[in-house]
Chain A
Amino acid sequence: MRGRVRPGVFWGAGVIRVSVAILVIAVVAFALLPQQSQFLFHMLGEPLADLVAVPVKGMATVDRTLREWWMQYIALQGLSQQNRQLRETVRQLNGEVNRLREQAYRAERLASLLAFQEDKSVRTVAAKVIGRSVSNWYQGVILDKGEDDGIQEQMGVMTPAGVAGRIVRASMSTSIALLTTDPNLVIAGMIQRTRDEGMVQGTSQELVRMKYLPPLSSVKTGDAVVTSGLTGGFPRGVLIGEVSRVEESDDGLFRAAQIVPAVQSRHLDEVLVVVSPRSPEAMPSPDHALIAPGPRNPTP
């Protein structure tokens, strides 16, 4: 009789009816009053999130330790081959560094001539990824920092490589970031070379698309896409990715581009949350917010 179920008190028809009734009421409330019911759920769950974060953080530590052990084991397998490749890469990079150093000196001189003010006030908070999406429908990560550390909803999330996503929910000790590859996240972007602006949105295929580019835009494969800084959350000029294909939109009014994201969401371990994307003195006053020109450097 292994696995047989013994009827108990919970098994009564009355209990089932009540349960079904509660479930139906909840579903109807959720369908008819989505905002209010979500607010209610949120209010009930907010205090619980910090409590639940404790086992999640513990399990994340175990996960990280196991992954590091595994990576060390894998790393040992191809160590000599990797050494050879790295030496070759270092040689190439030395040459590249030298060339870039020259360009940096030149850019520094030009910047001082044009009196560009370097924005030093972009403040970020470093956070660890302690968990990943709870479903296949939303690509998000759970961060170990929350409102106590100054993190709030709509703040940008990035890594040294580029844009990673945006905070969509924050509790006292944790926060949830929606990644750039999610179709529900839209960021204002700009083609770095041509300065053409558009909207960057994820796709279900875990790629990123840039939409609403001007029809006469000269965007081409290999162009870098950066944040335009027009919407909150990100400073101007953070790398989003690289154009891999240029397309015409179905209506022919705009161009679109497929982008390979700069940040691989599956390999995120640490991120930076942009707490303050620009300095207060650099912010345009409300009266001039729409007309104040940003630093433009058009390159045809």
Chain B
Amino acid sequence: MKISAYTLLTLFLFSFQVTLLSSFNPFGIQPDFCLVIACLIGFRVGPVHGLIVGFGLGFLQDLFSAGPFGLHTLTKAGAGFLAGVFARHLSNRRPHAAFVPVMACSGLSAMVFLLWSRMGMGLGEMLYGFSHILLPQAVLDGFVAIMVNWVFGRWPVEAPSS
């Protein structure tokens, strides 16, 4: 049951991100909704769930990405897992508590992409990528996470029994 729900969720989220959400890019930066959701599931349900959902979402993104295969899968799975581990040491689960872990996971994930996609293009391209893509996206993902976490907070979330 949970696997079916996660499958549907990943399919819907991915389709939503590449179509309807693609027009939403404040300051020229598109929030990574898939990463935010993977982190929030890790944050609220547990690291393994974050890892599973992150893996699924990342895999779908890799299928339709113009970049190398596997980067999204590994970074999203890692981000979902890390956010879950972070949450285990957190007593405050209010919406704004998601800001720091999601921002940190987004920043780490973006760093992998920055190194991979801009390596060998000169320091200027790297610095531009860092200041104009990595940092704004990490902050934007953090704010999106607060909003989504607030919406999640309307409904109780429970870990599955099997």
A interface with B by C-beta (< 8 Å): 1-11, 15-16, 19-20, 23, 26-27, 30, 34, 37-38, 41-42, 45, 48-49, 52, 55-56, 58-60, 62-63, 66-67, 130-140, 142, 168-169, 171, 174, 176-178, 182-184, 203-206
- In the complex, what residue of chain B is closest to A64 when comparing beta carbons? B19
Mark each residue of chain B from 66 to 94: 1 if its CB lies under 8 Å from any CB of chain A, else 0. 11111111100110010000000000010
Min CB gap B133→A, angstroms: 5
Contacts A63-B19, A135-B113, A204-B128 given: A42-B69 contact, CB under 8 Å?
A: yes
Bound complex: CA A205 to CA B129 (Å): 9
A4 touches B72 (CB 8 A): no
| Inter-chain contact A137/B19, CB cutoff 8 Å | no
Complex contact B22–A204 (CB within 8 A):
no
Known A23-B51, A183-B118; further 12 A-B contacts with Cβ < 8 A: A6-B158, A15-B48, A26-B70, A38-B69, A41-B62, A48-B60, A56-B15, A66-B20, A131-B18, A133-B22, A134-B61, A134-B72
Task: Please tell me if B26 contacts chain A, counting CB pairs below 8 Å.
Answer: no
A56 and B19 form a contact (CB under 8 A) = yes
Residue of B nearest to A5 (CB): B159
CA distance A20 to B12 in the complex (A): 27
Label chain B's interface by main secondary structure: helix
Band of interface residues on B: 35 or more
* Distance (whole angstroms) from the CB of A27 to the closest CB of chain B: 6
Say yes or no: B11 contacts A5, CB within 8 Å: no
Q: Are A204 and B129 in contact (CB under 8 A)?
A: yes
Given A5-B158, A38-B70, also A183-B121 (CB < 8 A): yes
Docked Cα-Cα span, A45 to B73, in Å, equals 11
Note all chain B residues with C-beta closer than 8 A to A139: 66
The reply to whether A45 and B128 form a contact with Cβ atoms under 8 Å apart is: no
Tell whether, in the assembled complex, residue B64 and residue A134 are in contact, meaning their CB atoms are under 8 Å apart. yes
B49 with A10: CB separation less than 8 A:
yes
Question: A176 and B11: CB pair below 8 A?
Answer: no
Interface 1/0 per residue, B110-146 and A, CB below 8 Å: 1001101110010001001100110001000000000
Contact indicator A30/B15 (Cβ below 8 Å): no
Q: 10 pairs across A/B with beta carbons < 8 Å?
A: A5-B159, A10-B160, A27-B74, A49-B64, A56-B14, A59-B19, A131-B22, A133-B66, A140-B65, A177-B66
Please tell me if the beta carbons of A11 and B152 are within 8 angstroms of each other in the complex: no
Contacts of B16-51 to chain A: CB distance below 8 A? 16-20, 22-23, 28-30, 32, 34, 44-49, 51
Assess the A19–B63 pair: CB atoms within 8 A.
no
Smallest Cβ distance from A269 to chain B, in angstroms?
A: 12
A129 CB, min distance to chain B CBs, angstroms:
10
- Inter-chain contacts of B116 with A (CB < 8 A): 137
> Is there an interface contact between A3 and B45, defined as CB atoms closer than 8 Å?
no
Given contacts A27-B78, A138-B117, contact A178 B66 (CB under 8 A): yes
